[in-house]
């Protein structure tokens, strides 16, 4: 398998009118802390129609979710999982998509979207969470990797903390 | 203090700095420079770097 194509993955979501905000490693990189990231983290608009569209695009990209012993690979099963409000790591042929929902320390979509920065990439517009929101989420997560990221963010964006 | 003396003092200071400290200083300067670039440029570079790292990992696994 070749490496993930997160640019294509994000473009597919945008073109299908899925509403989301990018957080995690790709947001961190956008703000200047450029490092590899294992997946593409997004917070989706929790509206059922949006989650259904997200599930449809994921399945079109060969998406499946490993849930214990179960493997969810149909549009219906992934949509049901997303509608339940749970976080879902969807493996697609363009890379892993981490759909973050109901996670403590992560703001709701509406709050993230209200101040997100729209970034042009290729011919689509990708909403990236603000620096302030990114820092808040990193502090809440509090893992060693997050603390290193916060330190690096301070170096990349001095005077913005 | 003349320019050459200042330069000499800086060079001496630089020589005394451990490689680790020097590497960290350079890394932070790079972070600062990256932080000033447009978000779209950084996003593309993060995606490109990620792809390369995955490919290197896969190549290393195949070589085992």
ipTM beyond 0.90?
A: yes
Q: How many domains does chain A have?
A: 1
Please tell me the predicted confidence (pLDDT) of residue B16: 56
| B32·A155 Cβ contact <8 A | yes
Query: How many angstroms separate the CA atoms of A42 and A22, rounded?
Result: 5
Is A36 a member of any domain?
yes
Residue A132 domain-assigned (yes or no): yes
Mean pLDDT across the stretch A14-30?
98
**More reliable by pLDDT, B9 or A159:** A159
pLDDT confidence of residue A57: 98
The answer to whether A91 and A2 have CB atoms below 8 angstroms apart is no
Provide mean pLDDT across the span A26-36.
Answer: 97
Per-residue pLDDT, B9? 46
CB contact under 8 A, B54 and A2: yes
Asked if residue A31 is part of any domain, the answer here is yes
* A1 lies in some domain: no
Asked if pLDDT for residue B19 goes beyond 80, the answer is no
- Band of the pLDDT at B8, cuts 50, 70, 90? very low
Q: Could you list the residue range(s) of the whole structural domain that residue A94 is in?
A: 6-153
Q: Is residue B11 scored above 70 in pLDDT?
A: no
pLDDT band at A161 (very low <50, low <70, confident <90, very high): low
Sorted by where each begins, the domain ranges of chain B are: 3-63
Contacts of B52 in chain A (CB under 8 A): 3
DSSP state of A64: B
Q: How confident is the model at residue A2 (pLDDT cuts 50, 70, 90)?
A: confident
* In a domain? residue A159: no
- Report chain A's C-alpha Rg in angstroms: 15
Instruction: Kindly report, residue by residue over A40-94, the tens digit of the pLDDT.
Output: 999 999 999 999 999 999 999 999 999 989 999 999 999 999 999 999 999 999 9
Which stretches of chain A sit within 8 Å of chain B by CB?
Answer: 1-7, 25-26, 28-37, 117, 119-121, 126, 128, 152, 155-158
**Given this model, what pLDDT does residue B64 score?**
85
| DSSP H/E element including B30 | helix B19-35
Using a CB-CB cut-off of 8 Å, the residues of chain B touching A5 are 47, 51
Q: Using the beta-carbon criterion (under 8 Å), do A155 and B36 form an inter-chain contact?
A: no
pLDDT on residue B18: 73
Chain B residues close to A152, C-beta within 8 Å: 31
Q: What are phi and psi of A129, to 5 degrees?
A: -65, 155
Q: How far apart are CA B53 and CA B59, in angstroms?
A: 10
pLDDT in tens, A99-136: 999 999 999 999 999 999 999 998 999 999 999 999 99
Say what the pTM is.
0.89
Interface test with B, best of A14, A32, A149 (most B CBs within 10 A): A32
* CATH code for position A100: 3.30.460
Instruction: Report the C-alpha gap between B60 and A92 in whole angstroms.
Output: 22
Asked if residue A160 is part of any domain, the answer here is no
Q: Cβ separation of B43 and A1 shorter than 8 Å?
A: no
pLDDT exceeds 50 at position A159: yes
10 Å CB burial of residue A30 (0-12, 13-18, 19+) is buried
B43 to A36: CB separation less than 8 angstroms, yes or no: no
Distances (CA, A) of A141 to A26, A146, A149: 16, 7, 11
């Amino acid at each position: 398998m070749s490496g993930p194509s997160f640019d294509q993955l994000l473009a597919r979501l945008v073109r299908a009118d899925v509403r989301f905000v990018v957080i995690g490693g790709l947001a961190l990189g956008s703000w200047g802390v450029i490092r590899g990231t294992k997946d593409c983290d997004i917070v989706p608009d929790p509206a059922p129609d949006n989650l259904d569209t997200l599930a449809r695009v994921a399945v079109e990209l060969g998406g499946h979710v490993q849930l214990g012993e179960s493997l969810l690979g149909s549009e219906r099963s992934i949509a049901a999982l997303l509608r339940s409000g749970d976080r879902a790591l969807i493996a697609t042929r363009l890379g892993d998509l981490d759909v973050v929902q109901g996670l403590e320390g992560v703001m709701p979509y509406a709050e993230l979207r209200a101040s997100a920065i729209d970034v042009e990439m290729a011919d689509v517009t990708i909403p990236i969470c603000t620096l302030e929101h990114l820092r808040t989420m990193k502090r809440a997560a509090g893992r060693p990797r997050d603390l290193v990221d916060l330190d690096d963010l301070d170096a990349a964006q001095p005077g913005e903390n | 203090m003349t320019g050459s003396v200042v330069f000499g003092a800086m060079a001496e200071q630089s020589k005394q700095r451990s490689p680790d400290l020097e590497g960290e200083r350079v890394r932070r300067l790079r972070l600062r420079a990256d932080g000033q670039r447009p978000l779209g440029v950084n996003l593309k570079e993060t995606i490109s770097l990620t792809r390369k790292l995955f490919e290197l990992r896969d190549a290393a696994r195949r070589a085992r």
